[in-house]
Structure 1
């Protein structure tokens, strides 16, 4: 099995709670919160550990909140490689309205990094990248870092022949799509991100697959995985196209579902699984996460129970 490094530039301590009814005006007395380590790469690493994989989670941390994040990772048996930066690690907060079932998610931006922070991160990534393994850059790029930071990470891990998986957003994703340079190994987008990038609705599975292969033809990635919400996910290479239908799961919380997909997919690839089977693992992990409350991720048994219901076919 190849080694895996996850990279989280803008992690968070995630709090999730609930209240009978969310309403503007009066003070709202919520239930005791659940507290979890959060951020894209952090959640991907948590998913990999829950599925029995070995992973190192490289996280940019600062201040007391950063120390709490490291303690939360240790409690979940996730090996963390801390890169200390000047700013305080952020928090995210989610509240579920028990009457309607709606979830309200609040995410504050991370503190702005400077060039020294960026250089420290790239140096740590280059040293920690597993030879002939996988690096997962997941989550947002912190304010102050260059929009081409994913390409800088790709250059940093290249000497170790480390394959880069990217699941990012906003300006960093837009830059990667517009000026890719060398292709990353895997790019994951959700439905909203893919439609914004395409400039039009992707109404069908065929539309999502066609857009994925267009990105591959443009040199953005070797493999593109795209979420289609409750419908399932697609995965394409230059020559292969797959669609995996998601099983029905009663939705409790969507927090971390995309990260769980990325973690499970990467773990399966690192174990030498075929692309269609790796896609099944990703969909099963995302579906199981949707069925958990707040910021919790899946249990391994839940993923294994859903796996046979994840129907994958060439498309």
Structure 2
């Protein structure tokens, strides 16, 4: 295993992911599905899984509750991903995906997590503060559970400061809107996808130049030191004060898009934790995402496939 800085991932709204397939998705009759696949899910959980699959190490701090929370921890243990469970009052949610064999289309369903209480929020923040790695990386990925304070991400960022940890964020919805609208300390890296960026910028991200311009605006406003913007199958843009890169993915057969963004964040974080240059870290992220979309259901990339994709990625300075 290569030397690396410590990585802690934080998942505030995890899920047990179920994936199956059926001959055809039609309304009305009972649809008899294939034997399902179960995986631990949620942004930070998948980031930690990806890091471990790529021969790195990461600890997954995860808010869990009820029997489904126990199931999630069992699934993490089966993959040898070190988990730091924080007990909360609500039951851990489920997500499920069904692939239509007749068309190859994938239907994805995500149910909301149960409402967290102020006590849950306090326990979570205290546990996070205790586990922050000195001079390591903290990845906050996925949605923020309902009931947590609107500024909960800012509270997490604040408790990382004394340890010198570098914060990487990949979130969406109101939490992302709040982070962009009210930046405090710039995070080390913010990843947004094309649709999230378009919504925040209130105009389409039609071209690579659009993505670069909006990323530069986020830097200037103090939101982040580095912004990575996904552009779907086209690739990803990285913008920092000194770097502007675009990485094109290789052509792969798309089987499932579940976890691709999380695999991207995991691979990129691992590369940075190993001291790789930003352009190489971006390339690793794109490679891992490409390897992930070519797997079935809720599976993620493996090292061999990610390495093969990495060799085929084209990364250019802008």
Tell me which interval the TM-score lies in, with the shorter structure as reference length: over 0.9
Please provide the CA RMSD for this pair: 0.6
Secondary structure of the equivalent of 1:14? strand
What is the deviation of 1:182? 1.2
- Counterpart of 1:229 in structure 2 is 232
The one of 189, 203, 210 equivalent to 1:200 is 203
8 Å CA contact 1:8, 1:57 repeated in 2: yes
CA distance in 1, matches of 2:315, 2:146: 38
- 1:62-73 to structure 2, matched below 5 A, reads 62-73=65-76
Please say if 1:148 is aligned against 2:151: yes
Secondary structure of the equivalent of 2:225? strand
The Cα offsets for residues 244-288 of structure 1, whole Å up to 9 and x where unpaired, read as 001111110000000000011001001000000000000000000
What is the deviation of 1:105? 0.4
8 Å CA contact 1:265, 1:281 repeated in 2: yes
**Larger deviation, residues 201-210 vs 282-291:** 201-210
- Consecutive unaligned residues of structure 2, counting only runs of 5 or more, are none
- Counterpart of 2:102 in structure 1 is 99
What is the deviation of 1:88? 0.3
8 Å CA contact 1:217, 1:238 repeated in 2: no
The alignment covers a number of residue pairs equal to 315
Normalization by structure 1: what TM-score?
0.99
Normalization by structure 2: what TM-score?
0.98
- Counterpart of 1:164 in structure 2 is 167
- Counterpart of 2:280 in structure 1 is 277
CA distance in 2, matches of 1:33, 1:156: 40
What is the deviation of 1:139? 0.2
What is the deviation of 1:239? 2.7
CA distance in 2, matches of 1:22, 1:136: 36
The one of 100, 117, 140 equivalent to 1:114 is 117
The one of 27, 32, 53 equivalent to 2:30 is 27
Where do 4+ consecutive residues of structure 1 move more than 2 Å? none
- Consecutive unaligned residues of structure 1, counting only runs of 5 or more, are none
Please say if 1:211 is aligned against 2:226: no
